[in-house]
Each structure stands twice: as C-alpha cells, then as structure tokens.
Amino acid sequence: MKLNLKRPLAFFDLETTGVNVAADRIVEISILKAMPDGTEDVKTLRINPGMPIPLESSLVHGIYDEDIKHEPTFKQVGEELARFLDDCDLAGYNSNRFDIPVLMEEFLRNGIDFEIDNRHFVDVQNIFHQMEQRTLKAAYQFYCGKDIVNAHSAEADIKATYEVLMAQIEKYENVDWEDKKGQVSKPVQNNIEALHKFTNLNKPVDFAARMVYNEDGVEVINFGKHKGRSVEEVFQSEPSYYNWMLNGDFPLYTKRCLEKIWNRMNAKKEQLRNEKQASNNVIKASPANTTKVKEEVKPINNDMLDQLKMKFGK
C-alpha cells in the first residue's frame, strides 16, 4: 500500500549520549522521507556530540567516542537537516516523547530556526501501545512477521518503523476503538492529520508534557503543586513561578512555550489597559462634559468689574 500524504512524512530515529532530553546530545540521526508520490529519500548522519558518550549508551547503540571524533557537530549540520526536513510532517517510534524533543533542543541550542507549530506528528509507538501494547521489536514481528536485522541501528529502526505504520493502517483502518469516555471511533486512518490526533491524545503543549491542553483548549500545568491549573492563572497569582520554570532544569522547547504564554498574557493586559485609557478619554471628551464646563464659566458683568476695582483700588 501507499501512504496517503499531502506533504512529505519524515520518519526519523536518533542515537544519543543518553536519555535526558535537556542535557544529552545526538550522535546519529537517520531520516527516511516518504514523499506524496511514493518515493523515498534516506539520509543518515553521525554527529560529534561535543561530550563523551557514556559506556552504557555505547553498549546499546554501538557508537563509541572513537567512531565520531572526526564527525561534524550538530551546529555544522543543523542547517542541512532543517532544509531536509522543511515542509515535512514528522514520524517515529516514541518520537513525541524523545526524538522530537531532543532534536528541538539541538536546533534551539545551536540557534537554528526550525518551526514545528504547523506540522503533524505521528508516533507509531502510541498507535501500537494503544492498540496492542508492545515494543518496536515485537511490533515489527507482530505486524510484519519479521525480525529487525541490526536492531538499535538508527537506519534499521526507522525502516522497521515505516513498515510497521503501513501495516498498522492496513490492520486497523476500519477497526473500532473505544476511548476512556466510552466513545467509539475508527481513529487509525490513512490520513496523517487523523494519525496525529490519535498519537497525541494527551494534547501536550510542550513535548516534555509539563503543560497540556485541557478539554477547553486551555494550557494547564501538568506536574507539581499547580497540576491542573491554567498556566496563565498560575502566572497571574504567582509570577515567580514563571521565573522558576524559565531558570530551572526544563527543556528549551518547554521554556519557549512558557515565554509564548507569558508574552501573550502580558499583551492581553496591555490591550485591556489601552482600551480602558481610550474609554476614559472618550468620557472626558464627551459633549455632556463640555457643556458642563461651559455652564460653569459665567460671563463677566458690571458687578464683577466693580468688585475688581474695589479690590485693586482702581
């Protein structure tokens, strides 16, 4: 089968120095760009992370410091990657929680412009976990009847992920699914927007899900003492909380989302102040007030002139 695409869908997988989104770095990225016409374009790059790769990470993906010491840094290849991913929706396995946040951190850390606001994100793991509850290796075996050759190689993993998604669509396209509220739908479709919605059910504002959208589409805090409260409400009542998050150990993309909400909130305040000031100015300049002023100013008469002559002796 062929994916029904309106624009390219880029499947990508990262090998990294670790699993801390805010602190760890990419050592390998592999991208399979599926085009609307059915063609594919694959790009794989190894990257010098600028820090030692912990042994426990090297044992998983097989990439050691010696392997990447002469490779370019992310700063050197970031613009190339941004161009390759231009106008692409993004897909991967556990990509919403790890690969996309890590990639965004690298772009932001190196000052490379890469906007994601108008993209769709398809996390194949979320479809799998919500429909079958398995891992990528099991997913590949379950849906495709194959074993991954050279598992934990980024390129092998994204090719398997691509095949799994197409097999999932074939298997579930007309299958009913019941959500936690008992509503039944057929969410798995050969449609990227539909898959985006199904694989982002918790509606995160930022990829770390420190903030999520509630049922009314309002950003709410998703952790700690303010969990469930509107972000703007928290910032209004406790402005120091914004500074704490902005200076805390949170991913850069989370901080960018915070800044957008903070700036939007202050813009609304400024607009209300301007509207109030304009309203006050209209009241002051109204005809009723002008008439009142005119009525209070009495014309000069002879009695007033006589009083002035007596006062000043003229």
| pLDDT higher than threshold 70 for residue 299 | no
Q: pLDDT for 78-106, tens place per residue? A: 999 999 999 999 999 999 999 999 999 99
Mean of all residue pLDDT scores within the chain: 89
**Do 18 and 54 form a contact (C-beta atoms < 8 A)?**
yes
| pLDDT higher than threshold 70 for residue 148 | yes
Residue 167 confidence (pLDDT): 96
Mean pLDDT is highest, among 76-80, 177-181, 198-202, 245-249, for 76-80
Residue 258 confidence (pLDDT): 96
Q: pLDDT for 33-83, tens place per residue? A: 999 999 999 999 999 999 999 998 998 899 999 999 999 999 999 999 999
Query: Where do the structural domains in the chain lie, given as residue ranges?
Result: 9-201, 206-314
- Position with higher pLDDT, 135 vs 9: 9
| pLDDT higher than threshold 70 for residue 197 | yes
Q: pLDDT for 199-235, tens place per residue? A: 988 788 998 889 999 989 999 999 989 999 999 999 9
Q: Place 300 in a pLDDT band, splitting at 50, 70 and 90.
A: low
| pLDDT higher than threshold 80 for residue 296 | no
| pLDDT higher than threshold 60 for residue 295 | no
* DSSP letter string, 144-200: HS-PPTTTT-HHHHHHHHHHHHHHHHHHHTT--EE-TTS-EE----S-HHHHHHHTT
Q: Which homologous superfamily does the CATH classification assign to the domain defined by 9-201? A: Ribonuclease H-like superfamily/Ribonuclease H (3.30.420.10)
Dihedrals φ, ψ of 15, to 5°?
Answer: -110, 135
Average pLDDT rounded to a whole number, residues 179-196: 91
Q: Place 291 in a pLDDT band, splitting at 50, 70 and 90.
A: low
* DSSP letter string, the chain: -----SS-EEEEEEEES-S-TTT--EEEEEEEEE-TTS-EEEEEEE-B-SSPPPHHHHHHH---HHHHTTSPBHHHHHHHHHHHTTT-EEEESSIIIIIHHHHHHHHHHTT-----TT--EEEHHHHHHHHT---HHHHHHHHHS-PPTTTT-HHHHHHHHHHHHHHHHHHHTT--EE-TTS-EE----S-HHHHHHHTTTT-BSSTT-SEEE-TTS-EEE-SGGGTTSBHHHHHHH-HHHHHHHHHSS--HHHHHHHHHHHHHHHHHHHHHHHHHHHHHHHHHTSHHHHHHHHHHSPPP-HHHHHHHHHHHT-
